[in-house]
Amino acid sequence: MNKIIVPVDFSKYSEYALETAALMAQRYNAELLVLHMLEIDKGRVTDSSNEHNEKMVFFLKLAEQKFESFLNKDFLEGISITPIVKHFKVFSEVAEVAEEHQADLIVMGSHGTSGLSEIFVGSNTEKVVRSSEIPVLVVKQKPSKIDFETVTFASDFSKEMVAPYLKARQLFDHIKLIHVNVPGESFKSSAEMEATVADFLQTADGNLDKLNDVHYTSDYTVEKGILNASNLLGADLIAVPTHGRKGLAHFFTGSISEDVANHATLPVITFKI
């Protein structure tokens, strides 16, 4: 990992993201690209009057001052940092910046557990997740550590989950796989689950070495199964696959993805399918 993008709005949540990204930058010896989106509408940007130009300069200088103050953190000492200011608050541009700078990861802060209901429904974080080709790490609290010694990867073990699973394995050493069995049409017998997982691992890894790292759980809903299993396994991070144009809802049917994000106290990282 060489470059990490951190979109910031100078809130405490973006500071949590910045600190998390700083810890990861130290771990991987990566550069931080700290991105701020100026809240300036298109009409103001295209206005070429002298008075407006003076206002634009004022806003830019103000952003630079805020940036300088915001980046004056002890945890950033010794880390290579590139500040980036964009004129539009269009968060799909974060993905464009990531592509332009060949970044490897986006780290974003979000409101705490009670405020996450909007994060994956029309919010800026969802827009980034939907448009990003690279992993997006969403953090809700001040990081206590960044080792991510145990990562849970929730999957239905279909073939399209192979690519995001392999991406997760490139970033994290210790991954526990979670298969949630729920009542209804999607219910599987133990033999069916084991056969599906074995076929998945054979395709993804070329071996069955991680069979012992698969956790089978039964619950009333998929999201409850993921959260309960992650807590039981002592996870530091929950990883989920995502289809870009549909956010997380393609893999987690209905509102399951939103429920997982709402109720998870752990960081959540998404991988594009």
Q: What is the DSSP letter of 150?
A: S
pLDDT at 15: 92
The C-alpha atoms of residue 29 and residue 3 are separated, in whole angstroms, by 9
Amino acid (one-letter) located at 4: I
Instruction: Determine the structural domain holding residue 187 and report its residue range.
Output: 151-272
Residue 145 lies in a domain: no
Residue 41 above 80 pLDDT?
no
Both 227 and 165 in one domain: the answer is yes
- Are residues 186 and 265 located together in one domain of the fold? yes
Looking at per-residue confidence, does 203 or 160 come out higher?
Answer: 203
Find all residues with CB under 8 Å of 249, minimum gap 6, and list them: 255, 256, 257, 258
pLDDT at 88: 60
Distance CA 253, CA 222 (A): 9
Does residue 173 belong to any structural domain of this protein? yes
Q: What CATH number did the domain enclosing 114 receive? A: 3.40.50.620
On whether both 163 and 264 belong to a single domain, the answer is: yes
Q: Can you tell me the distance from the alpha carbon of 142 to that of 187, in angstroms, rounded to the nearest whole number?
A: 38
Angle made by CA atoms 175, 251, 202, in degrees to the nearest 5: 45
Lowest-confidence range among 4-8, 12-16, 44-48, 106-110?
A: 44-48
Per-residue pLDDT tens digits for 134-189: 998 988 888 877 778 899 999 889 998 999 999 999 988 889 999 999 998 789 99
Span 103-124, pLDDT tens digits: 999 998 887 554 444 444 346 7
Q: Is 135 a domain residue?
A: yes
| Whether 165 and 54 share a structural domain | no
For 22-38, what is the mean pLDDT? 90
Residue ending a domain, among 118, 139, 160, is 139
Is 144 part of any domain?
no
- Judge if 122 and 160 occupy the same domain: no
pLDDT band at 211 (very low <50, low <70, confident <90, very high): very high
Tokens at 108, concatenated: 């974003």
Asked if 121 and 177 sit in the same domain, the reply is no
